[in-house]
Amino acid sequence: MSERNTIAIVDQRSASASSAALPRIPDTITLPSGLLSDGLGRPLRDLRISVTDRCNFRCSYCMPKEVFDKNHQFLPQSALLSFEEILRLAQIFVAHGVHKIRLTGGEPLLRKHLERLIEMLSAVRTPDGTPLDITLTTNGSVLARKAAALKAAGLNRVTVSLDAMDDTIFRRMNDVDFPVADVLAGIDAAVAAGLGPIKVNMVVKRGTNEQEILPMARYFRDHYDGHVILRFIEYMDVGATNGWRMDEVMPSAEVQRLLDLHFPLEALDPSQSGETAERWRYRDGRGEVGFISSVTQAFCGDCSRARLSTEGQLYLCLFAQQGYDLRSLLRQPHPTGRPYTDDDIAAAVGLIWQERDDRYSQLRASQPASSSASGRRIEMSYIGG
């Protein structure tokens, strides 16, 4: 294994988190117009909120056991944003134009009473009075128990991660010996609860689970009558702990060619701008598949996503090296001694977004195929996928 295309296995999450910048409040406060755009003309439409940094899985590409072991210090409860704090920030982001919120983690369903947060968010309205689109990404381990309550609380849709149909391969990939059958039961419960269209995310890692591409496609074509959309995700060099190597990335184009040989495909138009997945459908009408190709095909051009970490740091890109400490504006007083108002915080967020020029994947695409930018990057389990 060459050193050039390998990222060292170290945990740099805490260092990155503690170096978050204090947001600047502009001298003149302008109220949100819902029309915010960044330095590259991209609007703010999507907010991903990580509700916990903990997880009951140890997927090697995300929270490898060697790093996230029994000595790993997860965040204390007091560091986490409370539901009230999350709601307050969500309302500010909605005033700026966000209309979709995705709850993620770590494993979001491990956050106690998450249904209560969903209920609170589902009461929020965009400036034109529309309810938010509230979704959640989960490993599915406790979804069978929770799907109905999540739906009742106001969750619209769910995305479930599953990397293999083969039980041995899946147990090895989650590295906690968790069985496929329980995740499938979670997907069934989500379908029954009406949390569709359900997306299933499969990270394809060459040498680990590429033999599962066809079994996964076959299963989701055959079982759900087009109600479950399988999406193939390129293994990404996110964070600093997964020992990422370019030769373990299976480009989406290759996955698509393989799939097309067995189940002929045709391209679909993207449903909306800012969409991460390229959409295809089976020519025989048995549903849709997606490809998320952040390594081989950058989609930064219309990236309208902001990420809020578990402890309230705002990140402008999945690969950002630094966040902005919004929690301090919620918990600490203004230098004059008064609390920060919503207008102060909204103005700070507006300024941060206006100055945004992140486009990591696009820049990486112009570098040699084996390279990954160096520097401290935040873990996926901390800011969510």
Question: Could you list the residues that contact ligand SF4 (CB under 6 A)?
Answer: 55, 57-59, 62-63, 105-107, 139, 161, 294, 299-300, 303, 305, 317-319, 358-361, 381
Residue 243 sits in the site that holds ligand SAM (CB under 6 A): no
Q: How far apart are CB 105 and ligand SAM at their closest, in Å?
A: 5
Q: Which of ligand SF4, ligand SAM, none interacts with 372 (beta carbon under 5 to 8 A by kind)?
A: none
Side-chain half-sphere exposure of 75, counting CA atoms within 13 A:
26
Question: What burial class does residue 374 get, using C-beta atoms within 10 Å of its C-beta: 0-12 exposed, 13-18 middle, 19+ buried?
Answer: exposed
Nearer to ligand SF4, 313 or 381 (CB): 381
Residue 276 sits in the site that holds ligand SAM (CB under 6 A): no
**Tokens standing for 118?**
């969903």
Q: Which of ligand SF4, ligand SAM, none interacts with 233 (beta carbon under 5 to 8 A by kind)?
A: ligand SAM
352 to 381: interface string for ligand SAM, x by CB under 6 A: ----------------------------xx
Determine contact, residues 176/58, Cβ cutoff 8 Å.
Answer: yes
Q: How far apart are CB 266 and ligand SAM at their closest, in Å?
A: 25
Q: How far apart are CB 260 and ligand SAM at their closest, in Å?
A: 22
Q: How far apart are CB 132 and ligand SF4 at their closest, in Å?
A: 20
Residue 238 sits in the site that holds ligand SAM (CB under 6 A): yes
Q: How far apart are CB 289 and ligand SF4 at their closest, in Å?
A: 20
Could you identify the residue written with the tokens 């964070």? 239
Cα 254 to its chain centre, rounded Å, is 24
Nearer to ligand SAM, 53 or 344 (CB): 53
Nearer to ligand SF4, 174 or 221 (CB): 174
**Tokens standing for 11?**
């945990």
- The DSSP secondary structure of 138-179, one letter per residue, reads E--TTHHHHHHHHHHHT--EEEEE---SSHHHHHHHHSS---
Phi and psi torsions of 259, nearest 5°: -65, -45
Determine contact, residues 56/175, Cβ cutoff 8 Å.
Answer: no
Q: In the range 117-176, which residues lie near ligand SAM by CB under 6 A? A: 137-139, 161
Q: What is the 3-state secondary structure (H, E, C) of 257-305?
A: HHHHHHCCEEECCCCCCCCCCEEEEECCCCCEEEEECCCCCCCCCCCCE
